[in-house]
Structure formats: structure tokens, C-alpha cells
Amino acid sequence: MNWLDDVRWDENGLVPVIAQEDQTGDVLMFAWMNRQALALTAEKGEAVYWSRSRQRLWHKGEESGHIQKVHDIRLDCDNDVVLLRVTQLGHDPGIACHTGRHSCFFQKYDNGQWTSVDPVLKDPERIYK
């Protein structure tokens, strides 16, 4: 049996993926993978996702240079969520978010509203040319 068969893919053939920084434990981003993306991630040692908006494979950092080196691939107890332990390359500190921030989870709920609590490390206009 193929290890990919153990994953509980959704009705669209996708599985949710959380990317977590290996050194700090920071949750960097959430994305999706199909079978091919997960297989390529394991093969390359770099994160490859499925872009639902573009309907194609997306090698993280292909445009920005902010590649995710994968140290560990884990599957949760229900086999329906993948966790990647990564080092975010291309900038120090690493930029995982297309907004130029370290993490995509930069908005914090505070007293009835969302507040941006993490700085923009690099202007997205300079990242995506």
C-alpha cells in the first residue's frame, strides 16, 4: 500500500496543510495539497502546495524566493491534516505570507475587531515583480 493512501483526502482530492517553523514553533501558514503536491514535497524536501485559485501546483517560493525547506511531514490522528515542520528561506526572519509578514496569522482578535499585530518585513510590491 502506498503511504499516500493513508491520507484522508477530501471530496476534491485535497488535504489541509499547516506549515510550522521548525526552530520557533511559529505557525506560518495554512494551505492545501493534492497527492502530487504531497509526493513532490516528500521527494524534493521543499513545500509544494495545490493552489485552489490557480488550479495548479505551487512550489512555495517559486515567485518570491521564500522557499520552505521541509524537515518533517506529519499526519494528524484522523489522517486528514498534514503538518510540515519547515525552515522558511529567502529572508531573515523568514517571510511566509504574501503580505510580506513572517506568518499569515498576523491578525489578532481584540475587543470586537481584528488588529494587525505583526510588522510587514518586506513590501509585497518588492517581493512579487
How far apart are the C-alpha atoms of 99 and 77, rounded to whole Å?
A: 32
pTM over 0.75: yes
How far apart are the C-alpha atoms of 69 and 58, rounded to whole Å?
A: 14
What pLDDT digit, counting tens, does each position of 58-94 carry? Answer: 999 999 999 999 999 999 999 999 999 999 998 888 9
Domains of the chain: total: 1
Inside any domain, residue 44 = yes
Average pLDDT of the chain?
95
What residues make up the domain containing 99?
A: 3-105
Inside any domain, residue 88 = yes
Residue (of 73, 99, 103, 104) closest to 86 by Cα position: 73
**What CATH number does residue 101 fall under?**
3.10.20.810
C-alpha cell at 114: 481584528
Count of Cβ atoms closer than 10 Å to residue 111 Cβ: 5
How much is the average pLDDT of 26-31? 97
Inside any domain, residue 116 = no
Output the pLDDT for position 129: 65
Inside any domain, residue 127 = no
Output the pLDDT for position 32: 98
How much is the average pLDDT of 100-126? 95
